């Protein structure tokens, strides 16, 4: 296992700098290169299933169960786990019809220990921090990363410092960081500013845990492993997810590339990334077929988890979208609110950022970008209780448009060529 530049045209191997985050040659983000697993895919698939009956704490984690594709090896008692990753794939009932699909599944990553998908990466990030003897970890956050890091750091006995945009984080998420005992720094400005501040303060003593940390990305990959296992390794046509800083898109792309390269799947599902209209730099770049992403100085959306104007993992995300022949779309705050209400009415619930997936699917179906019989899984990234102020403010009055959307115009979706 070693660190290398994530840009395949550079691919510089980074040696002797275990905590580097950027390529010293071209400045792109780094990734972990793992050795090829020694076991045959069918043997590993069976082994991963059998581990569900094991009492080893690592096997009780839906992340570490797939450890052949994770960094390490770490000693079993070094692994910091809260039993994350074991979340269901919930069939969507009314919701599928509402967005014009015959079949839709929600993989609810919000049903993780701290209510968010971040736990999948944090168990690996904090395990690595502990392994290296880190005394203090830090991150900038729109709330969820902070809550997750604070919880795992507390488990590991490591001090946690979180940088939050002042006044722009839901009370519930802030409460979680407080409850887990993190030190909180409020930064004037938005998430992008908070990230600049934490990056500037990172010294040799500080282990940095935003999603540009390649260890976190490795853990987040396992959402795809677990999903495909639940589907008995028959990939869906599409996997839909919200896009903020784009670390999750990068992780999903890496997971699919590794599973394909190692013979676990033949067909690669197409990734669909949905952003909020007011914080949509990736969607803009995609529409313009641009190779460069123009950051937005003042991102604005009520889905505060994805109020991010300068996503750090954009380059990795674009590569993931090209590899999977993916799509990008954006949706308004009204569309998000309506989709969120629909997910609630289906007895599932999620936080606003997660509802972008359903809102985006409905929009893409209406445009005829995907057919009604496509098999689709949407990733719900955060729990409904993550932002109760939003629910009180918005959801009491929201009207959910009745009826199924039928594609009125068969216009091509914004598709990369």
Question: Which residues of this chain interact with Zn ion, rule CB under 5 A?
Answer: 5, 7, 10, 12, 23, 25-26, 28
Q: Residues binding ligand PLP: what is the number (CB under 6 A)?
A: 20
Nearest to Zn ion of 1, 10 (CB atom): 10
Shortest Å distance, C-beta 300 to ligand PLP:
16
- Is 354 an interacting residue with respect to ligand PLP (CB under 6 A)? yes
Shortest Å distance, C-beta 62 to ligand PLP:
18
Shortest Å distance, C-beta 354 to ligand PLP:
6
Stretch that binds ligand PLP, among 174-182, 245-253, 323-331, 367-375 (CB under 6 A): 245-253
- Is 326 an interacting residue with respect to ligand PLP (CB under 6 A)? no
**In the set 244, 253, 269, 344, which binds ligand PLP (CB under 6 A)?**
244
Shortest Å distance, C-beta 53 to ligand PLP:
31
Stretch that binds ligand PLP, among 33-41, 42-50, 139-147, 365-373 (CB under 6 A): 139-147
- Is 226 an interacting residue with respect to ligand PLP (CB under 6 A)? no
- Is 246 an interacting residue with respect to ligand PLP (CB under 6 A)? yes
- Is 30 an interacting residue with respect to ligand PLP (CB under 6 A)? no
Nearest to ligand PLP of 60, 293 (CB atom): 293
Contact predicate 83/111, CB 8 Å: no
Nearest to ligand PLP of 31, 351 (CB atom): 351
Torsion of CA 311, 313, 319, 324, to 10 degrees: -80
Which does residue 165 bind out of Zn ion, ligand PLP, none, counting CB within 5 to 8 angstroms by kind?
none
Footprint of ligand PLP on residues 179-218 (CB under 6 A)? 211
**In the set 146, 150, 153, 353, which binds ligand PLP (CB under 6 A)?**
353
- Is 113 an interacting residue with respect to ligand PLP (CB under 6 A)? no
The binding site for ligand PLP (CB under 6 A) comprises 116, 142, 144-145, 211, 242-249, 305-306, 351, 353-354, 381-382
């Amino acid at each position: 296992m070693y660190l290398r530049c994530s840009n395949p045209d550079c691919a510089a191997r980074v040696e002797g700098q275990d905590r580097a985050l950027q390529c010293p040659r071209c400045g792109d983000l780094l990734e972990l290169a793992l050795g090829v697993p020694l076991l045959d895919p069918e043997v590993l698939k069976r082994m991963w299933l059998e581990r569900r009956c094991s009492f080893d704490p690592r096997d009780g984690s839906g992340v570490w169960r797939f450890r052949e594709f994770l960094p390490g090896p770490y000693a079993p008692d070094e692994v910091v786990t809260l039993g994350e990753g074991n979340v269901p794939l919930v069939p969507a009932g009314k919701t599928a019809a509402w967005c014009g699909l015959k079949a839709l599944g929600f993989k609810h990553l919000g049903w993780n220990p701290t209510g968010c998908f971040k736990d999948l990466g944090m168990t690996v990030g904090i395990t690595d921090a502990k392994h290296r003897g880190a005394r203090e970890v830090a991150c900038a956050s729109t709330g969820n990363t902070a809550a997750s890091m604070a919880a795992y750091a507390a488990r590991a006995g490591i001090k946690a410092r979180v940088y939050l945009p002042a006044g722009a984080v839901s009370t519930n998420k802030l409460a979680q960081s407080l409850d887990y005992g993190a030190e909180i720094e409020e930064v004037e400005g938005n998430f992008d500013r908070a990230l600049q501040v934490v990056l500037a303060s990172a010294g040799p003593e500080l282990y940095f845990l935003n999603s540009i940390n390649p260890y976190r990305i490795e853990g987040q990959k396992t959402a795809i492993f677990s999903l495909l296992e639940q589907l008995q390794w028959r990939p869906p046509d599409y996997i839909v997810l919200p896009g903020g800083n784009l670390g999750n898109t990068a992780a999903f792309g890496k997971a699919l590339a590794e599973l394909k390269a190692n013979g676990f799947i033949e067909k690669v599902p197409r990734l669909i990334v949905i952003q909020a209209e007011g914080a949509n730099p990736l969607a803009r770049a995609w529409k313009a077929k641009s190779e460069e992403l123009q950051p937005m100085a003042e991102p604005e959306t009520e889905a505060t988890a994805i109020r991010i104007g300068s996503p750090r993992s954009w380059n990795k995300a674009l590569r993931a979208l090209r590899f999977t022949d993916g799509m990008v779309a954006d949706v308004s705050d009204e569309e998000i609110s309506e989709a969120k209400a629909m997910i609630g009415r289906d007895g599932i619930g999620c936080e606003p950022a997660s509802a972008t997936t359903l809102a985006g699917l409905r929009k893409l179906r209406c445009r005829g970008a995907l057919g009604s019989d496509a098999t689709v899984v949407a990733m719900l990234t955060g729990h409904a209780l993550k932002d109760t102020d939003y629910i009180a403010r918005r959801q009491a009055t929201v009207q959910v448009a009745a009826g199924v959307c039928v594609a009125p115009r068969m216009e091509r979706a914004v598709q990369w060529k």
